Amino acid sequence: MPLDPTAREANVRDSIKKYFVDSLTPQYYLMFDKGMSKPNVQGTPSEVDRWISINFGAMDRGTLSEHDLRIYCCTRKDNEGFKLAQLTDTVLGFLSDATATHGMKSIPLYRSYQDQAWTLIGGLLVQEVTESQQVIADDETKYKILNVLLRWSSKI
């Protein structure tokens, strides 16, 4: 028996990708499951100096499912970390909702298809976001890690 669409990892991943691509591109370079490696973008006139890498973590499926995301906000040529602060603020803005009484964002959960329109089947609630301190890598990339816990109702 196939899994209910609310419990399918493919739907969760596709929905997360769609949300961030629709929200953050083309203003920011966005990568998925690449750690914090710098994007290799052809045809850009200058070196990429800020990017976001979203990494899919553990997923626990049940009637209340959970999924961990690790979002790397990265900058280069950022002497005082101001570009990093701006980038982190932008990403956090897409993870919160000041108009909701609880202040949490609900990312639309879709039943994704390759060859037809996607169907909205629920929402992934941003339950918790923890932010790391600013870190400087050996290649002088400055970064912060946002650990995001998503929860949603599913049938399993």
User: CATH code at 133?
Assistant: 3.30.2000.20
Q: Is the model's pLDDT at 2 over the cut of 70? A: yes
Q: What is the mean pLDDT of residues 52-71?
A: 97
pLDDT value at position 41?
63
pLDDT beyond 90 at 103: no
What's this model's pTM, rounded to 2 decimal places?
A: 0.92
The single-letter code of the amino acid at 89 is D
The parent domain of residue 120 ranges over: 5-153
Amino acid 44: pLDDT = 57
What is the predicted pLDDT for the residue at 42?
Answer: 63
Sheet strands (E) in 26-137: 29-32, 50-60, 64-75, 106-111, 119-131, 135-136
The pLDDT assigned to 102 comes to 84
Count of structural domains, the chain: 1
